[in-house]
Structures are given as structure tokens and as C-alpha cells.
Amino acid sequence: MTGSRREANLKFIQRFFPALSARLATANFPSSELMYRLEPAKKQGVSLVVEAHGTETRLHSQYDPVNEARRWAAANPPRSRGVYILIGWGLGYHAMEWVRMHGAATEGVVVYEPEARWFVESLPYCDMPALVSAGRMEIAIGSDGGTLYQAMLRMMEPILSNDLFAVATPFAPVYPPHAVQTLREETQKILETKRKMLEFMSEEGERCQEHIYQNLRQGMNAWLPRDVKDIAKGEPAIIIAAGPSLNQNVKELANAQNGAWIIACDTSLRVLNKHGVQPHVVVTKDPTDLNKPHFEDAEGLENIVAAFDPQVHPEIVRKFGERKIYLPNRNNAIHRYIQGFEISDDDRLPLASNVAVAAFNLAVHLGCDPILLAGLDLCFDVRPGRSHADDSALVSETSFDAGAGKLIYQRGQCRDEIEVMMVEGVDGEMHPTTPSFYEALRLLEDLISRCGRRCIDVSEGGALIAGTEVLRLKDAITLYAQQPIRTEALFAQQPPSRGVEAFQLSLNEIKSHLQHCGEIAIEAAECIDKDDVPLNILREAREKIEDGFRVYHELQSALEWLMVEIRQPDYWDEEKNERDELIRRYHNYFSQIREKCDRFSSMLV
């Protein structure tokens, strides 16, 4: 019985928790820090007895662990709707009962079990498929911060709009202090990531939307990811980022020009130009003006495939020739309204927080194996140094203030200070990194654990990337990049030609819908200016605008900040909010809808 239950649990985990399944498949867990043993419970199940802090502690009831867990869960309901971190899995009883009882009343649950082997021990005894109706959930096992951060990062969508709460199981005090410290640190990091993402939405949302609209026509004549899936299957790729470690081995890349797909991050393009290395593909993602200098005076762009996120500035996209790959932005819902330009599942590549992660996703999608990572440092030296490789457009001088916990960037007269966190480097020492690099590192590690490809870190410096082998670039080229790759599979293809007339009709329809929503918002705003406007009139106007949520699909980037705000628990609840506060919220809502609809409908000509 226990064997069949274990297999059922593993199948369930494989389907619903792929990252956890990949981790379990490696069976690469450290020994338990705490001595423990399993004992059968008198009524049903088993109990876990642990030696902690000099005494034996029973994590679960000796008589009936299921009933004990049920009583605890009933006595500890969620404080309010939000995302909850459950501290402790043990053999699963408490977490299972809490999630089954309260999961649907939360926006998401992350279970944190520092002792990975306890989770493995639980598989023959718990009934995990019962969690299928519990809503959004992640499970992080092991006391390393990276795994916990990855789990919370996968929960980022509800975290953006909700508070983060912690619920400690009754046995949580048995865990070593460093496990609790890991929870504190990683929670602070995810909250910092949340702050940065909200800040980006507020500052860059409209710019991203503008670029997406302007790049739609370029995308119509570009390959979608489904058009290039597996065209480099089984062939090596080298992803080139612009970390300072690239200075050491950039000259070696000339020896791989014909033996591996050279996929350059935009930040490394000038460096490669300087050393006479022409990449096959350049990936570009950043929507800000800081991205433009990477392409100034760049040579041979007409012979390079541009893999572009539509949020980048259209001037960059126009610099390249006809061969382009359109990488749909995570805010790609507008495509469902553009005939002939709909997005399929094969076009939706995994989330990429920066250009290096986007390049990695593309290499996996192309079928490349192995995938080599060069210049991907994702951290800085504790000694004064440089932010990027020589000749990169944004290279700055850096220094680390350990006492203040800050990294100082100096570029000409410009100086910037960034709060840092510490990560392990390939040299075994601890190095400072920025919140954005930390996010990219953890996201990349998660992708590597699930991609099924051999991944090799050839940066010869930088952060330790879990799941990669570490080799010198020269040696990796000798081992993996000696056979000619089949570049004609991409370069001999003609870019697709999609229906121009249907495309224009679709844009006209989007424009008409935005104008309609804008008119409703104007009428509603005029009602607000009158005294004692009934709330039901404002509610009905909002519901008309939100019919089918189409306006949020058409203006996804521009309205993303607004969507985060109005998804807060009870935001529109007329019983839980004062009338004046609801009027203020409606005024802000209709003002933003009117402004965005007016601005972006005028772009669709």
C-alpha cells in the first residue's frame, strides 16, 4: 500500500509541481541535520520523532496524527486573503490539512520544509492528490535559500497584489536557527523583488505598451517561436553575456564560430564586434533607452537574426535585416484579437527577468544541447572592478562597501548605490549581487533544473549557478564545438508572410473597442462630479469596461499597475469600504482607463 501511494504522490508532483519533481529526481539532498526516526501511530499513519536541542520531540501525534493536524488547522485559519508561507511539512499532516481546509480562502500557499529528507519520507504515507482542489500552491524543500526563493518567485503574480503571511506548524521550533534565518532573508528578498516590479510597472508600463504597439508590424513579418522550434536540436549553443569575466576568454569564441550557435545578449554585442565574432542570434529585451547604446555603430546587423521582445524600442528592431524572431512578451494577450497573429502554447516561452534568461529560454526552445554560458557573472567582485566586460556600452567602475552592504556604480560623473545580497561564487567565496541579478540567478537555476539539457558554465568567474558543470571555455569548445552546425536550418528559411488586410482590420477593431471603453469612463467620471452618485452606476460602468477583461488584454502593460491595485482583497467591496474611499478609487480607475484608452487608440492607425 505504501509503495503504490508513493508512486501516486510522485506522479501528482510531476504533474503539478514540476520544479519539485525535478529536484526529487536528482535525489541529491544533504543528510538530515536532525536525527530522526519513524514510529507507527496507534490509530493510523506514522509519527516522526526528532532529536532537537538536546531532547526528543514528536512532530506528530503518537495516537492519531491526522486528527491532531485537523484540529490544529481548524484553530489557525488565515488572517485575511493573501499568500501564506507554511513553515514545516514534516510528514505532511499539518500542511495537508491546513491547505485542504483553508487553501481556497488564500491567494496561494508556499510550504517550506527545511529538512528535505523528511518530505521524501512522507511520500508513502500522505495523500497529496487530495491537494488538487486547494488552489495555487508551491512546495520548497531543503534549507538552501535559492529553492525557497524560486518557489516564491513562481508565486509572484498573487504576491504582487496581496500581503505575505507566515504560519508556523506546531513543530516549527525544532528547525535549526539558520533555516529560520533563511526564511527571513528570502522573504525580504522576494518583497524587494515585488517592490522593484511594481516600480517598473509604474515607471515603464506605458513605454512598454507603446513599443509593443509599434512593433506589431515588425512581428507580423517575423518568425514566432513555434516557427523555429528544435531547428538546432542536439547542437551546442554558447550564450554570451557581458559580465567582466568575458574579458578573460572572449578571444576563444572565434574558434566556435562554426561549431556552436552563438547567441549574444544585446549587452555583449559591442564586445563581440570588437573581437571579430559575429553571433548568429542577438537577443534583446530591455524597453528603456539604456538599451540603445548596445546597437550604436554595430556592424553586420543585417546578417544577424534579431530575437526581440516587442517591448524594446522599435528603432533597435529596425536596425536588423529581414530575419527576426518575435519573442512574445509575458503581456501578450492582445494577440488573441489579431487575426493571423494569434499566440500558441509553443510561442509562450518561460518567464525571463533579464536578457540572459531570455537567451537561455530561446536556446532551449531551439533544441540546443549542450548550452554553454559565457560572461554570465550575475555577481561582482568584492574588490574594485568593472560592471561589464571592456567595450560594453554600459561598463562602469564598481566597488563594494561591505559595512553598508552596498555596491557603488561610478560611470563618469554618475554615481549610484545599490543594496546588495551575497551569493556563492564559482571560486567558493561569497560575492555581492544586486536584487535583479539574484532574481535572474534563481530563475535561471529553476529553468536549468527543468530543461533536460546539459548546461555548462564557461564564464570562468561569477556566481555559482546550481545545475551547471563548470569548465574553461577553451576546453568546452574543444569538447563540444568541433562539428559544423546546420545554420541553413534558420538562415535558408524565408520569413513568414501574414495577412496584411486581416491584420489591419483587427487593429481597427481594437481601436474601436478602446474608444468605446474610453467613452464609458468619461461618462462615469462625469457622474462622479455630481453629488450623491449611486455606487451601483459606477459599478455597472466598471463592469461594462471589464466585460471579458478585453481592455486589460489590449492594454496589458499600460494597465498592469492598475490591475495589481484593484486586485487587492476587498478593493471594491461596498460593505468593507467607506463611500468616500470607494469614490476616490472609482475616480482614479476611470481617469486611468480614459487616459490610456485615448492615448493608445490613437496609435492604432
Cβ-proximal residues to 519 (8 Å cutoff; 6+ apart), any chain: none
pLDDT at 569: 87
Positive or negative, the CA dihedral 277, 282, 285, 287 is: positive
Task: Give the per-residue pLDDT at 372.
Answer: 98
- How many angstroms separate the Cα of 204 from the Cα of each of 156, 283, 286, 301, 563? 19, 20, 10, 27, 15
Cα–Cα distances (Å) from 351 to 81, 153, 311, 336, in that order, read 26, 10, 14, 19
Q: What's the whole-number mean pLDDT along residues 464-469?
A: 95
For residue range 504-555, what is the model confidence (pLDDT) as tens digits?
999 999 999 999 999 999 999 999 988 789 999 999 999 999 999 999 999 9
Task: Decide which of 431, 457, 491 is a domain's last residue.
Answer: 491
569 compared with 379, residue with greater pLDDT: 379
Tell me, yes or no, whether 582 lies in a domain: yes
Q: Residue 418: what pLDDT?
A: 87
The pLDDT tens digits for 251-306 are 999 999 999 999 999 999 999 999 999 999 999 999 999 999 999 988 889 999 99
Instruction: Mark which of 175, 200, 230 sits at the end of a domain.
Output: 175
Is there a single domain that holds both residue 352 and residue 483? yes
The mean pLDDT value for 149-170 works out to 93
Residues 418-447: pLDDT tens digits? 888 899 999 999 999 998 999 999 999 999
- pLDDT-derived band of residue 390, with 50, 70 and 90 as boundaries? very high
Residues 24, 162, single domain; the answer is yes
Query: Does residue 402 lie within any of the structural domains?
Result: no
Say if 468 falls within a structural domain.
Answer: yes
Domain annotation covers residue 397: no
pLDDT-derived band at 1, boundaries 50, 70, 90? low
The residue among 274, 335, 284, 332 whose CA lies nearest residue 305 is 284
**pTM for the structure as a whole:** 0.89
- As given in the structure block, the three cell numbers for residue 201 are 510597472
H helices of 481-566, in order, are 488-491, 500-528, 535-545, 550-554, 560-566
Domain around 140 = 2-175
CA angle 400, 406, 407 (to 5 degrees): 50
For residue 47, the cross-strand partners are: 39
404 vs 381: CA distance, rounded Å: 16
Task: Copy the grid coordinates of residue 256.
Answer: 566556435
> Number of C-alpha atoms within 13 angstroms, CB side, residue 8?
14
Q: For residues 7-28, give the mean pLDDT.
A: 86
| Together in a domain, 222 and 86 | no
Task: Provide, rounded to the nearest whole percent, the portion of the chain with pLDDT above 90.
Answer: 78
211 lies in a domain?
no
Per-residue pLDDT band at 247 (split at 50, 70, 90): very high
pLDDT of 466 > 60? The answer is: yes
Q: Report the percent of the chain where pLDDT is more than 70.
A: 99
Q: d(Cα 111, Cα 126) in Å, to the nearest integer?
A: 15
Same domain, 223 and 359: yes
Shared domain for 34 and 157, answered yes or no, is: yes
Dump pLDDT digits (tens) for 27-79.
677 777 788 899 998 887 899 998 877 888 898 999 999 999 999 999 999 98
In the prediction, which pLDDT does 545 show? 97
CA distance 482 to 47: 56
Do 225 and 367 lie in one domain? The reply is yes
Phi, psi of 50 (to 5 degrees): -125, 140
Identify whether 167 is part of a domain: yes
What's the mean pLDDT in 98-119?
Answer: 93
- Is 202 a member of any domain? no
Q: How many domains does the chain have?
A: 3
86 and 27 assigned to the same domain = yes
Pairing of strands 371-374, 455-457: parallel
Mean pLDDT, the chain, rounded, equals 93
CA trace torsion 374, 377, 383, 385 (10° rounding): 60
Residues 58 and 106 in one domain: yes
* CA–CA gap between residue 547 and residue 122 (Å, rounded): 46
Q: Are 68 and 167 found together in one domain?
A: yes
C-alpha cell at 221: 513579418
Is 428 among the domain residues? no
Average pLDDT of the residues in 485-504 = 89
Nearest to 328 by CA among 340, 315, 311, 353: 311
- Domain match, 369 and 507 both: no
The tally of CA atoms less than 13 A away on the side-chain side of residue 190 is: 30
Q: Would you say residue 331 has pLDDT above 60?
A: yes
Residue 6 shares a structural domain with residue 92 = yes
Question: What is the DSSP code string of 50-80?
Answer: EEETTEEEESS-SS-HHHHHHHHHHHS--SS
DSSP-derived secondary structure for 356-399: HHHHHHHHHHHT-SSEEEES---S--SSSEESS-TT-TT--EEE
Domain boundary residue, one of 111, 142, 175: 175
Is 554 found in the same domain as 505?
A: yes
